[in-house]
A and B are shown apart, each in its own frame.
Chain A
Amino acid sequence: MSIAWNAFTPASALMGGAMIGAAAALFVVLNGRIAGVSGILGGLVRPQAGDVSWRIAFVAGLVSAPLAWRVLDALPQIRVDASFPALVAAGLLVGAGTRYGGGCTSGHGVCGVSRASPRSIAATVAFMAAGFATVFVARHLIAP
């Protein structure tokens, strides 16, 4: 392992992380819910009366973030290296896996870890380990 010091961005990482934590805090303090993106989206697949508008509003907020950003400044660098077939496979795995596991990086990783939930900590360890392993196989075993 070698650390890529030129790519390391500690200040913006902490700052952005604090904003994500503030959003999750705002959400639980006002709406009393977990800001878990996969669960919020999942509830829209089988919508129930009276349970839809807050979900759509949260999703609309996320989608609007780059639009709001662009009003003030050019977007930061965003690069998607994966091919379309890889993106489709990845999307299917992420969509099904997060619903089956009951959460993703936001619901388990941020909110669950903030609550010190053993279930969410286990989920976070599992998806991080699988992520590390997948990138290792893809970058160092298949295409070194």
Chain B
Amino acid sequence: MYTVASFAAGLVFGLGLLVSGMANPAKVLGFLDIAGAWDPSLALVMAGAVAVGAGAFALMRKRTRTLLGAPVLLPSAWRIDTRVIFGSLVFGVGWGLAGICPGPALVLAGTGSAKGLAFLAAMMAGNGAFEFLEKKKRVAAGLAPTRSS
């Protein structure tokens, strides 16, 4: 049941990326180019998503179990630290270079685009590099290897 719900959520998410234009890197770059001919559309994508999402998150904040009985596992980290800022800046540079973030990367891969697949492969390599460095850091600190998130 959770697997079906996950698939359905992923599918609706992907269709939303296609409808909104977020899956089109040229349009994303048009939004990020504020000094050029600026296309403000993607600000409305985020506004639409947050308007619909906020109610659901407010509802689940008070619950410990979901409608299917799964535990509610929402992040408890609220602190702004150098990790979240530095990591997000690095992500933003990559996003600005190609106009692709992780969700659209999967949708592009689904279209069979060679460029989409190249980006996805590099992104997974970046993921792997992160895991490798984190593991090394934990070993160096003498801690048992644990999962970061």
Contact = CB atoms under 8 A, between A and B. Distances in A.
Interface residues of B, number: 118
Contact of A118 (B11, B26, B78): B78
Given A42-B127, A90-B119, A136-B35, A16 B21 contact: yes
B53 A91 contact: no
Interface in B1-45: 2-27, 29-30, 32-42, 44-45
Contact of A65 (B11, B34, B98): B11
Tell me the interface secondary structure of chain B in the complex: helix
A32 B66 contact: yes
A124 B101 CA distance: 13
B49 A127 contact: no
B74 interface: yes
Given A8-B39, A20-B17, A62-B11, A101 B83 contact: yes
A129 B86 CA distance: 12
B16 A135 contact: no
Interface string A64-81: 111111000001111111
Contacts of B101: 37, 94, 98, 104-106
A9 B121 contact: no
B85 A126 contact: yes
A138 B102 contact: no
A16 B102 contact: no
B24 A114 contact: no
B95 A19 contact: no
B80 A118 contact: yes
B7 A75 contact: no
B110 A67 contact: yes
A121 to B, nearest CB: 9
